Structure 1
């Protein structure tokens, strides 16, 4: 039976020979209807995803980076319709964690012929995320990096922003894990993870898996360049939870209150400052197309 296939593409993102090549690759398959949507920015994508689902899409290809994937995952959560990621962004952390290559032909092949798995999402203040969410130092750093800087400097843009923010103040935080107080002190960053690896191949959460039904939770009390260098060094060369400036646990639900408004982010996308965060794991919320399991 022919599939109804949808493409939701951030038209400013690039991968391989581009969107024209993608159209050819898809039409070479046994496709019935092809629903094609291009958007100028990631925040326009959810409306197109919902339209595709309403029109009966059996498979949705998402062309873009983590921000586009996050917006589409939020719209596709619990729909049961598989998402196939075409990693065309500057940062493709979700695709990288899942083993989806930066190769257009292979990513399309995985979409049509790869295995389907139900993976967890997190939801923070009512919005789903696939990779990580955070407040404080990490979110301020991401907020400073605009699209042009990311395009021009890539990962270096995040490094430059990090250097400018390491001297920021510690903020009072009270964090509850599954209803019990876990942290009540001053901190520079709260991070929630669904997967292990963040930018540059650094593992922020060594034991994270996107199919275990948990959110990883980390809080850092590091302040200044020396302490933050020690934190990043520990992440790169050992286990994050061995740093004296980091506490890590896991949770089904997380509630946090901040002593001052903090910017927060979802999968690299900035959101408005808040003094309150409510988050939880949503097991099996997103059906995703993955490479064949080499163990099988």
Structure 2
């Protein structure tokens, strides 16, 4: 296939999708990619070096086999200084637990379907965020959301799948309140105690909950949510509103959209990035890079016709 892009595969070998990596090799050969650049890693932290190596070898299309954490690490490498001058298309083979980016974009959670999209789908330029020096495409959060992800470690997720989030969510409702000052696009927006601050590029977030039903991943803005719930009963009220699609009307939730979000906390909270646990911080400075990532998606699946959800600005 002389007109085909030079293909690279970065695979988290502990993640499973369909019949596994052996079947992926077979399917690529059947599609005319007999000798792709191929790297397997034992953990997502090992992927950036492989991404840079694939780029040096001339990769034009990068297939990522893994969950949201693996995808995030790869995208960060692509967006890093010295790499962003050459745009490489990305195809996701969602082999993780939540697969939030793939789910939000309509990418099938099966090997044959995902590979068809990765090789032949439309190319869309999606927004990317920066937070504490890292790039992300799904979400970033401090407080409740980060505790939920920290406690649902890889062992628990591998064993129980999404059910792991039910157990850890109950524990995370005990998250303490911390005072936060939040500026949106340079203007003061919120000053008070919070138990969670979430910034998202997509609508469906941790645990499969649709927190931002009007989110669009290529509109140059991220959705922002602040939760002031304290204790299990408050969180039950928030979750009920989520299930009913009325979270924006909850007195315990405040939302908006922004290009630049600056959160300052009066004490350290753990944070998460695209479902990956990170250390504690007192600062959450997020900036949006509009349409910085080229991703293969199902034809006409990315909803860029405008927001249908509720905004508060």
3-state SS of the aligned residue for 1:270? Answer: strand
SS at match of 2:243: helix
Match of 1:118, SS? Answer: strand
Q: CA deviation at 1:134?
A: 0.1
Distance 1:294 1:227, change over 3 A: closer
Residues 1-296 of structure 1 aligned to structure 2 (within 5 Å) = 1-31=3-33, 33-77=35-79, 78=84, 79-293=86-300
User: How many Å separate the matches in 1 of 2:286 and 2:144?
Assistant: 19
Using the alignment, how far apart are the partners of 2:34 and 2:60 within structure 1? Answer: 10
- Greater shift after overlay, 30-39 or 64-73? 30-39
SS in structure 1 of the partner of residue 6 of structure 2: strand
> What SS does structure 1 have at the residue aligned with 2:265?
strand
Say which SS state the counterpart of residue 123 (structure 1) adopts.
strand
Root-mean-square deviation (CA, aligned residues, Å) is: 1.4
TM-superposed deviation, 1:168: 2.4
- 2:279 partner SS: strand
CA–CA separation in structure 1 for the residues paired with 2:5 and 2:155: 37
TM-score of the aligned structures, taking structure 2 as reference length: 0.91
Structure 1 position 31, deviation (Å):
3.0
Going from structure 1 to structure 2, the CA distance change for 1:290 and 1:167 (only over 3 Å counts) comes to: same
Structure 1 gap segments, 5+ residues each: none
TM-score of the aligned structures, taking structure 1 as reference length: 0.96
Residues 147 and 264 from structure 1, CA distance in 2 versus in 1: closer, same or farther, beyond 3 angstroms? same
Structure 2 unaligned blocks of 5 or more? 303-313
For residues 164-213 of structure 1, give each alpha carbon's deviation from its aligned partner in whole angstroms, at most 9, with x where no partner exists. 12122210101111111111100100000000012454211121110100
Contact 2:143 2:175 in 1 (8 A): no
